Amino acid sequence: MTVSPLFSTRLLPLAALALAAGALAACGFRPLMLWPLTLAGTAVLVGLVARAPGPWRAVLAGWLWGVGHFCLGDNWIATAFTYQANMPAWLGWIAVFLLSLYLALFPALAAGAAWFARARGAALVAAFAAAWIVSEWLRGWLFTGFPWNPLGVAALGGFDRAGLAQLLPWLGTYALSGLVALLGGAWWLAWEGRAARMRAGLLLALPAGLMLVPQVGGPAPAGHLRLTLVQPGVRQELIDDPANFETQFATTARLTMAPPASAPAPGPRLVLWPESGVPDYLRDGYPAWFYERSTFAGSPVLARRRIGAVIGRGSMLLTGAVDLDMAGEQGAGNRVVGARNVVTALDESGAIRAGYAKAHLVPYGEYLPMRALLTPLGLSRLVPGSIDFLPGPGPRTLDLGPWGRAGIQVCYEIVFSGEVADRAHRPDYIFNPSNDGWFGAWGPPQHLAQARLRAIEEGLPVLRSTTNGISAVIDADGRVRAALPRPVAGRIDGLVPPAHAPTLFAKAGNALPLGWAALLAIAALLALRERRR
């Protein structure tokens, strides 16, 4: 019996190296923020591609690297299963592993494409970076996309500085990831050329210096619109318990109505509540039994009026809620056919002024793909209830008059680079309500980091209200001006930071990073032609 060279015993140490290097690269993400390990892990992958005797060996190296990378970086997904009563908690780790097997196809694609360039040295690094940009872009939209933790997020600095991510307005997130891949490739070049000490030292020092770049420019003006951002501190296991709804509302109301630490500025106030911020159905027109779990006598009108009284005069509330899609004979509307994860704007009278429905839904979380096929297999237990959430139309700007033009991105919608703002009607800020209580210790800081990337590349402040952290006010330079940690209840009072003029990325979208990928590919081709002369 012969053994395929692809899976020979000689390959096992290289496979272990690829897995370990991928996991090492994930250590640059939150909460660890060990960015030198991201560069080192990426350097190892470039080296494995350079030494691969054939394309399938390079693809395998990239895939194994990806498995290690995503198993560690996305480990927070396993925590979600501890709150899913219909599924055993241990299944969460299997879910992380299976998802990683799929996500690893994208680093494998980048590794294989770089090998096919038949380049060496700096040309190989440029080809790898170009392929990485394209592969991350594909990961962001293929099969609805899962662009969580792009490689470039390792270049983001602490709360008070953006680090190398300051280049996002001119690069976009996927090209920033390509730049990090270039820097990791520089470390591989340093290792390969270590005999030339001066050149190797420069290749080691330059990436490190770039990752530590200080913040350019001083703090932006404070802004003019008052805000009150509420984090009710609701424990995840209680958030859907009807017996706890009134307590949740009382906590949120108390935090909203509490006087600020300093005298408020005159003018309108924007109040922000998180996803799952209101347990009531706020819209009229549903059959009476749908309002029975309401916190106010089963009446949506009274529920809205009570909320209006809580926010007070001169205030506009943006809150997460759930709407229903109804159907029935002759328009009776007595049968639920779907739900919408929405943000509802309520004024001081309790009137609904505007609304937004989440567009990027979580497969196997908010809806079950191919439900008719998967339900007989018992996989309907992955999603709560027997109906699916339905997607909204995409980014929309809500014109709230004195309370500004609000862009809305619910929960993990904020991680989709280039898809968070209506480019035809640019908002003044992006509101990102979320419920991060599902996602353990690693998920919330990673989510916050990716919201900061959106702020920088779009030139827009991002306001995050979450059920139990991390809530934050992020300015248009990606700096966190105020934050509430997990898992406390609290409130942030302040002013909405001003937006910048539209950035190059805000105008061009993901055509910009793909353009950078094309330039890197051309550079690799020119370097290869020069080498062959």
Q: Which residues are catalytic?
A: 275, 358, 411
Q: If phi over 0 gives left and psi between -120 and 50 gives alpha, with beta otherwise, what is residue 296?
A: beta
Quote the CA–CA distance of 457 and 508 in Å, as a whole number: 11
Quote the CA–CA distance of 448 and 237 in Å, as a whole number: 22
Quote the CA–CA distance of 109 and 104 in Å, as a whole number: 9
Query: Could you count the other beta carbons within 10 Å of the beta carbon of residue 177?
Result: 28
Quote the CA–CA distance of 505 and 305 in Å, as a whole number: 41
From 431, 418, 522, 473, select the one nearest 169 (Cα to Cα): 418
Quote the CA–CA distance of 434 and 527 in Å, as a whole number: 47
- H runs (alpha helix) in 400-494: 443-458
Query: Could you count the other beta carbons within 10 Å of the beta carbon of residue 301?
Result: 12
Quote the CA–CA distance of 226 and 494 in Å, as a whole number: 6
Quote the CA–CA distance of 448 and 432 in Å, as a whole number: 10
Q: Name the residue with tokens 């297999």.
A: 377
- H runs (alpha helix) in 12-90: 12-26, 35-51, 55-73, 77-80
For the chain, how are helix, strand and coil distributed in percent, rounded to 5?
50, 15, 35
Q: What is the CA radius of gyration of the chain?
A: 25
Let me know: does 228 contact 252? Beta carbons within 8 Å.
Answer: no
From 489, 503, 331, 347, select the one nearest 426 (Cα to Cα): 503
